[in-house]
Structure 1
Amino acid sequence: MKKIFNKLSAASITLLFCVSSFASEVSQDYFTTQGNGLRQITSGTVNGRPVVYTSELDGAVASYNSNGEELWRSATQEKAVLFEINSTDLNNDKSDELIAASADGSIYAWDTTSRNKVSPLWKFTPSKKVRFSEVAVALVDGEKRIYAGGNNFILYELNSNGQLLSETKLEGVVRKIESGRFLSSDKDSLFVFTLERDKYRWDFMGFIDPKSKNVISEISPADRNVKDISKNMMITDIDIADLDQDGLDDLLFFGDYKSGQKSAASFIGYNSKFKRIADFKIASAQRQRYAHVYGTSLLPKYNEIVLQFGGLTYLIDAKGKLIKQVGEKHTGLIFNDIELSATSEKLFAAGQIGGGNTIYSFDLNNKDWLDTPHQLAGRLAQVEKNINDLYEQTLAFEMPSYQKKSNKPWVMLTKAELNSDVAKLNGADFLSVAQERWTEKWDRSQLVKKIGKIALKQDRRGKYKDTREQLIKKAKAFEAKGKSFVVWSGHGIDPFGVSIDTMEAILEAAPNTALGFLYAEMHDPKDPRVLYFISEYMPRLAKAMRKQGKAKLYFRYKDVFWATTSQQQPWKDMFFSGQYADILVPSAEDTTSRTQDINFTGRVGMFLGGYVNDYAMRLVDDNPTSWRPLSPGGQRSVSPYLRTAVLRAAYGSRMGIIFDSRYTEQPGLNVLFALMKSGVLPIVEKDAMQSIGSWMLIKDVDIELAHSITNHHEMNHYSENDSNALMSLGQIQWAGTNLPEYDYSRAALGVQYRWLNFIPPMPNGMIPIAPIESAAQLKKQNTPYFVSNGRVGFSNDKEIGAEDFYPMMQHSIELGEQNLPIRVEGSAWSVIKLDEKHSRIILVDQGYIDPQDRDVTIHFHKKTKWVKDILSKEEFHITDNKMKVTVPAGSVRFFDVGY
Structure 2
Amino acid sequence: PRKPLPVIFMTDHVPEAMQDDAKRWAEEFGTPIFLNSVWLREVENWDRSQMASETYRNKRDRRKKYTATSDEIYAKLTSALAGYPGIAFWGGHGNDPYQVSLPTLRRVLEASGEKLVVVIYPELEDPSDEFAYVLNDLLYPLAETAQKTHDKIYIRTKHFFWETAIYHPMWSRLLSGEFSDVFVPSMEETTDKTQELSVAARLGVWTAGCTDDWGARCARDNPSFDRMRQFSHQMLPNHFLRNQVFTIAYGARYMNNVAVDQDYMSVLWELIAKGILYVPKRGEIVSFSPVRLGMIEPDPDFEDQGNNVKWTTFFDPEYERQNRFVFERTNGSWPAAPLTEWDFSRIAAGAWERRQNFLPSYPHGLVLIGPHGDTFDRRLRENLHPLYRDIMQEFVTDGRWYYTPDGKKQPPQTYYRTVEQAIKTAAEKLPLTVEGQVAWVAAVSAPHHIRLTVIDGGYLNPNDRQARVTFHAVTPVEVRDLVSGETISTTERTVTIDVPCGLFRFFDVTIREPLAPRD
Q: Same fold (TM over 0.5)?
A: yes
Q: Is the 8 A contact 2:60 2:95 kept in 1?
A: yes
Instruction: Answer yes or no: is 1:476 the counterpart of 2:476.
Output: no
Per the alignment, residue 425 of structure 2 pairs with 815
Per the alignment, residue 787 of structure 1 pairs with 396
What TM-score, normalized by structure 2, do the two folds share? 0.90
Give deviations 1:566-625, integer Å, cap 9, x for gaps. 112212x13311111110001111011011111111001111111110010101111111
Task: Say if 1:668 and 1:698 are closer, same or farther in 2 by CA, change over 3 A.
Answer: same
Instruction: Answer yes or no: is 1:642 the counterpart of 2:241.
Output: yes
Per the alignment, residue 96 of structure 2 pairs with 494
Report sequence identity in percent: 28
The aligned amino acid for 1:578 is G
Per the alignment, residue 384 of structure 1 pairs with none
Count of paired positions: 488
Instruction: Answer yes or no: is 1:709 the counterpart of 2:320.
Output: no
The aligned amino acid for 2:333 is Q
Q: How does 1:547-586 map to 2 (within 5 A)?
A: 547-549=148-150, 551-571=151-171, 573-586=172-185
The aligned amino acid for 1:854 is R
Residue 632 of structure 1 deviates from its aligned partner by 5.0
Correspondence for 2:276 among 670, 680, 691: 680
* C-alpha distance in 2 between matches for 1:738 and 1:427: 45
Per the alignment, residue 454 of structure 2 pairs with 843
List alignment gaps of at least 5 residues for structure 2: 382-387, 512-519
Q: Is the 8 A contact 2:309 2:330 kept in 1?
A: no
Residue 713 of structure 1 deviates from its aligned partner by 3.0
The aligned amino acid for 1:744 is F
Give deviations 1:108-149, integer Å, cap 9, x for gaps. xxxxxxxxxxxxxxxxxxxxxxxxxxxxxxxxxxxxxxxxxx
Q: Is the 8 A contact 1:542 1:583 kept in 2?
A: yes
Per the alignment, residue 516 of structure 2 pairs with none
* C-alpha distance in 2 between matches for 1:501 and 1:699: 35
* C-alpha distance in 1 between matches for 2:108 and 2:326: 45
Residue 513 of structure 1 deviates from its aligned partner by 3.2
Residue 507 of structure 1 deviates from its aligned partner by 1.1
List alignment gaps of at least 5 residues for structure 1: 1-402
The aligned amino acid for 2:181 is D
Instruction: Answer yes or no: is 1:869 the counterpart of 2:481.
Output: yes
* C-alpha distance in 1 between matches for 2:459 and 2:333: 21
Larger Rg: 1
Q: Which has the higher helix share?
A: 2
1:445 counterpart SS class: coil
* C-alpha distance in 1 between matches for 2:204 and 2:272: 23
2:163 counterpart SS class: coil
Per the alignment, residue 860 of structure 1 pairs with 471
* C-alpha distance in 1 between matches for 2:107 and 2:180: 23
Q: Is the 8 A contact 1:697 1:775 kept in 2?
A: no
Per the alignment, residue 127 of structure 2 pairs with 525
Per the alignment, residue 732 of structure 1 pairs with 332
The aligned amino acid for 2:428 is Q
Q: Between the two structures, name the one with larger relative contact order (CA 8 Å, sep ≥ 6).
A: 2
Give deviations 1:481-536, integer Å, cap 9, x for gaps. 345112201111101001001101111222233512111222223253x2222112
Q: Which has the higher strand share?
A: 1
The aligned amino acid for 1:471 is I
Correspondence for 1:416 among 10, 13, 30: 13
Correspondence for 1:445 among 49, 53, 56: 49
Q: Is the 8 A contact 1:784 1:815 kept in 2?
A: no
What TM-score, normalized by structure 1, do the two folds share? 0.53
Per the alignment, residue 825 of structure 1 pairs with 435
The aligned amino acid for 1:831 is A
1:704 counterpart SS class: helix
1:553 counterpart SS class: strand
Residue 775 of structure 1 deviates from its aligned partner by 4.1
Give deviations 1:676-702, integer Å, cap 9, x for gaps. 112111221011001111211112311
Residue 427 of structure 1 deviates from its aligned partner by 4.4
Residue 842 of structure 1 deviates from its aligned partner by 0.3
Residue 434 of structure 1 deviates from its aligned partner by 2.3
Q: How does 1:610-621 map to 2 (within 5 A)?
A: 610-621=209-220
* C-alpha distance in 2 between matches for 1:792 and 1:631: 34
* C-alpha distance in 1 between matches for 2:442 and 2:324: 33
Give deviations 1:453-472, integer Å, cap 9, x for gaps. 64122101111221001111
Residue 639 of structure 1 deviates from its aligned partner by 1.1
Give deviations 1:425-459, integer Å, cap 9, x for gaps. 44452211123233211111112xx1126412210
1:464 counterpart SS class: strand
Instruction: Answer yes or no: is 1:802 the counterpart of 2:415.
Output: no
Per the alignment, residue 888 of structure 1 pairs with 500
Q: How does 1:113-262 map to 2 (within 5 A)?
A: none
* C-alpha distance in 1 between matches for 2:85 and 2:433: 43
RMSD of the TM alignment (CA)? 1.9
Per the alignment, residue 588 of structure 1 pairs with 187
* C-alpha distance in 2 between matches for 1:587 and 1:510: 23
Per the alignment, residue 754 of structure 1 pairs with 354
Per the alignment, residue 325 of structure 1 pairs with none
* C-alpha distance in 2 between matches for 1:505 and 1:574: 23
Q: Is the 8 A contact 1:475 1:510 kept in 2?
A: no
Q: Is the 8 A contact 1:705 1:790 kept in 2?
A: yes
Q: How does 1:58-73 map to 2 (within 5 A)?
A: none
Residue 849 of structure 1 deviates from its aligned partner by 1.0
* C-alpha distance in 1 between matches for 2:476 and 2:403: 39
